Amino acid sequence: MSSSTQKEIKVGILGATGTVGQRFIQLLSTHPYFRLHALGASSRSAGQTYAAATKWKLATPIPEEVAGMVVSECDPSVEAFGECGVVFSGLDEKVGEIEDAFRRANLVVFSNAKNYRRDSLVPLIVPTVNPSHLSVVRAQQASLSLSKGYLVTNANCSTTCIVVPLRALELAFGPLKTVMVTTLQAISGAGYPGVSSLDILDNVVPYIGGEEEKIEWETNKILGGVTDGDDGFDLHAAGPGPINVSAHCNRVPVIDGHTACVSVAFQSGTKPSVEEVKKVLKGYKAEVVELGCPSAPKESIVLHEAQDRPQPRLDKDLYAGAAVHVGRVRECNVLDIKFVCMLDNVRLGAATSSVINAEYAVVKGFIQ
C-alpha cells in the first residue's frame, strides 16, 4: 500500500482531552493514513472547542487545525464518529464500557484500557511483538455478528517495555521459563492530575495498584500464541504461566519514561552468552518495521553499550518514542541473563502502540 495513493481514513478519539488523548492528537494531526475527524470527551467538555476543553500539557502546541474542532460526547450515535474508519480510545478503565458500545455500533476500536485485555476474543497487541494476533478479530466479529466493527487492545506500558526484548530473546533462544522484573515508572503513567507532587517529590512509592498483576498476566498472552483455527487465545495457558513472571513496580519522580530491570531464564537450561544476547537484541526486526508502518521506529530495540544507559530523560525521544531501549546486558547470578530496558510510556507505552497497530491493520486489510 502506498501512502501517497491511498484514501485518507477518518479517525475519532475517545478521551481526547486526557493524557493519552493528547498524545493521539499530537501523533495523528499530520498522519499519512489518518485524518482527525471526531473528538470525544466527557459531557462536561462536549460542545466546547478542543482548545477550550483541554488542559493541554505537551511541550508542542495544540495543532492549529485541531484547536477549533468541537468536542462531542463519547457516544457512537454522534454522526462524526459513525463516519470514522478507526476510533482510538484513550479512555481509562472506569469508562471502558463505552468502547464496547462503539464496537457494537460496528466501529473499529483500538483501546488503551485494561478492560478487554483478558477477553479470549480480543487481541492484546504490542506492535513490535505480536501484530499477527490481529487475525483473531474475525472470530470476534463472528461471535458478535458484526460485519466491520471489532476491538483491539494494546498492553500496559510496563508490559510493553519488557515484552519487546523478551520476544527477541525467545525467538533466538527458545521459550522463557522465568522472568523477574522491577520497574521504576514515570508519573505520567498515572494520568492527570494523577500523582500528587507531595507524594513523589524526593520520594519513591513502591506500589502501583494492579500493575504487577498486569505485567505477570499480559506477558503470557502477548508471548503466547492464538489457538488453532485463529479462533481466540488459550487463556488457560495465558496465565498464570507458562512463563513465571514476578514483578515489583515502583513510582519514581520521572515525568516520562518507564525503566525496568529484568532477569530471565530460558526453558532450555542453556545460558546464552552476553555477546549472543546483544547480537540478537540488536538484530531484532519487527514485522511492523519491515512492512513500513509509518509510525514504527527504525529500530524496534535500541541497544546501548554505555554502562549507564538507557536513561529516560536522555533516550526516550529517539524515533518519536516508538523504540524500546535496552542496556547493561550481563549474566545473572540467579537466572540466565539480566538487562535494563526503558520506553516512553505515553508513546510506545500507550498512544503510539494503538496507532502502529491501526497502521498494521490498514496495511493488512483489516480496515476498509
User: And the C-alpha cell for 347?
Assistant: 508513546
Q: Which of 258, 293, 304, 341 is catalytic?
A: 258
Considering only 86, 340, 343, 350, the residue that binds a copy of itself (CB under 8 A) is 340
Residue number, 82 or 242, with CB nearest to a copy of itself: 242
* 21 contacts a copy of itself (rule: CB under 8 A): no
Distance, CA of 316 to CA of 310 (rounded, Å): 8
Query: Using CB under 8 A as the criterion, what x/- string covers residues 180-199 for binding a copy of itself?
Result: x-x-x--xx---xxxxxxxx
Interface pick for a copy of itself out of 32, 68, 225, 240 (rule CB under 8 A) = 240
Among 57, 68, 83, 298, binds a copy of itself (CB under 8 A): 57
How many CB atoms are located within 10 Å of the residue 228 CB? 7
Q: Give the one residue of 4, 5, 7, 59 binding a copy of itself; rule: CB under 8 A.
A: 59
Q: Least separation, in Å, of the C-beta of 28 and a copy of itself?
A: 20
Q: What phi and psi, each to the nearest 5 degrees, are found at residue 109?
A: -120, 130
Strand partners, 302: 325
Q: Give me the least distance between CB of 48 and a copy of itself, in Å please.
A: 15
Among 30, 143, 203, 273, binds a copy of itself (CB under 8 A): 203
- Decide whether 243 or 358 has the Cβ nearer to a copy of itself: 243
Nearest to 6, CA basis, from 294, 212, 215, 352 = 294
Closest CA to 37 of 104, 86, 74, 95: 86
Min dist. Cβ of residue 197 to a copy of itself (A)? 4
Nine-digit cell string for 89: 480510545
Helix (H, G, I), strand (E, B) or coil at 340: strand
What gap in Å lies between CA 280 and CA 167, rounded to an integer? 10
Residue 97 near a copy of itself by CB under 8 A? no
User: Whole-angstrom Cα distance, residue 238 to residue 223?
Assistant: 9
Strands 258-266 and 176-185: antiparallel
Q: Which of 157, 161, 293, 341 is catalytic?
A: 157
Sheet containing 176-185: which strands, arranged edge to edge?
A: 244-251, 176-185, 258-266, 337-343, 324-331, 301-303
Which residue in 3, 6, 30, 246 binds a copy of itself (CB under 8 A)?
246
What is the Cα 17 distance to its own chain's centre? 19
258 is a catalytic site residue: yes
Radius of gyration of the chain (CA): 20
- DSSP one-letter code for 350: I
Give residues 257-276 in contact with a copy of itself (rule: CB under 8 A): 257, 259, 261, 263
Q: Does 206 bind a copy of itself (CB under 8 A)?
A: yes
98, 108, 254, 281: which one contacts a copy of itself (CB under 8 A)? 254
Residue recorded with cell 464500557: 97
Burial of 43 (0-12, 13-18, 19+ CB in 10 A): exposed
Q: Per CB under 8 A, which of residues 124..183 are in contact with a copy of itself?
A: 178-180, 182
Nearest Cα residue to 62 out of 48, 51, 53: 51
Among 38-46, 67-75, 95-103, 246-254, the segment contacting a copy of itself (CB under 8 A): 246-254
Q: Which residues here bind a copy of itself, judged by CB under 8 A?
A: 19, 57-61, 178-180, 182, 184, 187-188, 192-207, 216, 240, 244-246, 248, 250, 252-255, 257, 259, 261, 263, 307-318, 327-328, 332-335, 338, 340, 342
Q: Give the residue numbers marked as catalytic.
A: 157, 258
